[in-house]
């Protein structure tokens, strides 16, 4: 299964595309869609949407996954994140892809085995699970890959157990 993981952000939206059978994961692409903070917010959202659509066209993932919205102390930041997340969900729906969302706790449990893992532990395990010679430089891309790995693992388990999506 080919999975697109997305780490939503209005300045930097991380992405990661993997090929996985649920146990063995292979990196296809990762990076960050960057926006210019001086641009009007709607132009930044358009840039993110265009970037995600291009990734979906180029890599043809069957599924996409994002983290669930988490509590943020800053309401303005939370609203911007929600807008970016809406753009991501729209891009996924336009492509007719399977969609899943996971809490940060679920992602960390799936990748590290501990729900309160530190970012450095997630980075180390993403590198290990993808058998990469070096760490992913961008935290945003690494987080997106962790979400993709989480989905691939959950989907493989679901298929093995015959559970409903």
Domain ranges across the chain: 2-161
Contact 79, 46 (CB under 8 A): no
pLDDT tens-digit profile, the chain (165 residues):
999 999 999 999 999 999 999 999 999 999 999 999 999 999 999 999 999 999 999 999 999 999 987 666 688 888 899 999 999 999 999 999 999 999 999 999 999 999 999 999 999 999 999 999 998 989 999 999 999 999 999 998 888 787 777
Contacts of residue 156, defined as CB under 8 A and 6 or more positions apart, other chains included, come to 1, 20, 21, 22, 23
Choose which CATH entry (3.30.420.10, 3.40.228.10, 3.90.380.10, 3.40.720.10) describes domain 2-161: 3.30.420.10
Catalytic residues: 7, 67, 140
Residue 119 has which token pair?
Answer: 């970012």
Enumerate the H helices of 4-138 as residue ranges.
Answer: 41-59, 75-94, 104-111, 119-129
């Amino acid at each position: 299964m080919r999975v697109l993981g997305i780490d939503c952000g209005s300045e930097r939206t991380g992405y990661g595309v993997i090929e996985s059978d649920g146990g063995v994961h292979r990196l296809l692409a990762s990076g960050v869609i960057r926006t210019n903070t001086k641009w009007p917010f709607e132009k930044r959202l358009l840039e993110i949407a265009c970037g995600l659509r291009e990734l979906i066209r180029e890599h043809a993932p069957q599924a996409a996954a994002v983290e669930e919205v988490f509590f943020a102390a800053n309401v303005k930041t939370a609203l911007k994140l929600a807008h970016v997340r809406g753009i991501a969900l729209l891009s996924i729906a336009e492509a007719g892809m399977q969609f899943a969302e996971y809490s940060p706790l679920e992602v960390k449990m799936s990748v590290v085995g501990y729900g309160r893992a530190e970012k450095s532990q997630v980075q180390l395990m993403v590198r290990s699970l993808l058998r990469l010679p070096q760490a992913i430089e961008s935290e945003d891309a690494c987080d997106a890959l962790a979400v993709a790995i989480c989905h691939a693992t959950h989907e493989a388990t679901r298929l093995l157990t015959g559970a409903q999506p």
